[in-house]
A and B are shown apart, each in its own frame.
Chain A
């Protein structure tokens, strides 16, 4: 009779195992479209036959195996991290194009054009009060265009810095969600597909914000490292990060905005570890690109360099010139003013001297030889002189080079963001394809794909060369 009970017990266990297997399948169907869900495969394992008690004879035991491929998950996370960075760059850089617009309608090139046009007209009739007034008016327009650009760039800087703060908050929130998952896992003895899906979803969201590495620990708990070095989540502990103003970065550059640093929970600077993700994109704009334009950290900024150079060059010519046609020659007054004590704020403080009048504009070059409109002519030709007054370039040309650097950065971000969207789709599709296949099958598939891509990539290079040649054939 003992054997009969053993057989019945074993049969009962088998039925239970098959029921569990059906539940797992049903769960897979229900969660087919759940974000981050990985298919669960029920594995039926034969149990050893106990010859003494007769128990477990030929029975089966159900063990649920998560088919998630660790590298596939990592690949998706890495691609999402790159996509996060390029999309953030795309979003953040686009408003810069309104300030650095190369078209003649945009404020700075338009104002510069008008200013040098007014110098040219004034040189034809130096004593004309209307031409003198036109010069002062054009100078005011120019100063106003620089001030406006400085305000716009300041607003962009503020917005980027606010975004950095909110991104850090999101990272800490995701870290807290992962810590909750770890707590739940430490209390569960069996893998939980729902929890696992939530974790995967949170990890993907976190990847789009920063570059993370995920290490699987005991009992299904995960350790999340930021930049491969800083523990963000370790078991049931969260080490929150924070964004701080790096005040020391502006030493010797008064008026400059401080760079933004990221610190770990111990106050160590981990900024250099953030290399991809939305946060990396924001940090690169805030700490590198914007300071190169409007100043920040140790940089004065291209816009300030341009404003100072314009003011100094114009003022020098006027102050060396003469307002009178006959001796004693009377030196002219400076047209522009700015706050020289804050080199990183010159564009924002550029203004026309409040006391200047048309008669104080020196049109004559006292020489020798004396030239009645010599100073006005020098001013009219200042933008096209060789070498130019701003780092060897003319003012318009220098502004165009700033515009070009912004344009290139925007263009590169657009190209990479588009390509990266496709790469994320690729990684996600491959993640689905390789779940559950053997390593051999996975390797064969990857090698085939790589070979085919390499072949296609070579044709892309040829097509690119052909396009270059075609463009060279068409005159502009």
Chain B
């Protein structure tokens, strides 16, 4: 028999499974977006990841409200998300490494090397064009 505060909690937060499902949908969207490399899609992915963070926060709040009890469905949902997050983390680590190497090459081709043998830092100068 649920008590008043549990009913209030359910009304306020909804179902943990629904939030997990929403987080999974967002995660699929993030993976789709990241196949197109651009600063815009990366920013939108970060926004979606923040949504996922909020949704998981809601799941945590519901679990705290309802008390800890074994739930195979929720657990497998979280584990599934965890493996997708692991893929994303591996992706971002790899992408960072790739972009760092790429930028170093561009920097070296653009500005040569420093005295310490590192690629010269990139200095972007405002361009002024005079016509007439």
Contact = CB atoms under 8 A, between A and B. Distances in A.
Query: Which of under 10, 10 to 19, 20 to 34, or 35 or more describes the interface residues of B?
Result: 35 or more
A459 B46 contact: yes
Interface string B21-48: 0000000000100111111001101100
A71 B59 CA distance: 45
A419 B92 CA distance: 9
Contacts of B64: 473
Interface residues of A, number: 54
A450 B103 contact: yes
B122 interface: yes
Given A71-B102, A423-B91, A448 B86 contact: no
B14 interface: no
Contacts of B90: 415-416, 418-420
Nearest to A420: B94
A466 B37 contact: no
Contacts of B101: 71, 75, 78
Given A429-B36, A439-B109, A474 B63 contact: yes
Main secondary structure on B side of the interface with A: helix
A445 B38 CA distance: 8
Interface in A447-461: 447-457, 459-461
A469 B103 CA distance: 37
Contacts of B59: 470
Contacts of B45: 456
Contacts of B88: 419, 460
Nearest to B74: A474
A151 interface: no
A236 B51 CA distance: 57
B7 interface: no
Main secondary structure on A side of the interface with B: helix
Contacts of A463: 49, 52-53, 56, 85
Contacts of A456: 42-43, 45-46, 49, 92
A390 interface: no
A84 to B, nearest CB: 14
A440 B126 CA distance: 12
A411 to B, nearest CB: 8
B96 A457 contact: yes
Top 8 nearest A-B pairs by Cβ distance?
A: A452-B42, A419-B90, A457-B92, A448-B39, A456-B46, A459-B49, A419-B91, A71-B105
27 contacts: A71-B101, A75-B98, A78-B98, A411-B83, A419-B87, A420-B94, A426-B34, A433-B37, A439-B109, A443-B107, A443-B110, A443-B124, A446-B99, A449-B38, A449-B39, A450-B99, A455-B46, A460-B88, A463-B53, A468-B82, A469-B60, A470-B56, A471-B82, A473-B60, A474-B70, A475-B69, A476-B75
Interface of A: 71-72, 75, 78-79, 82, 411, 415-416, 418-420, 422-423, 425-427, 429-430, 433, 439-440, 442-457, 459-464, 466-471, 473-476
Interface of B: 31, 34-39, 42-43, 45-46, 49-50, 52-53, 56-57, 59-60, 63-64, 68-71, 74-75, 78-79, 81-83, 85-96, 98-103, 105-107, 109-110, 122, 124
Given A422-B87, A429-B37, A467-B78, 12 more contacts: A75-B101, A426-B95, A439-B109, A449-B99, A450-B96, A450-B99, A452-B39, A456-B46, A457-B89, A461-B89, A473-B60, A475-B68
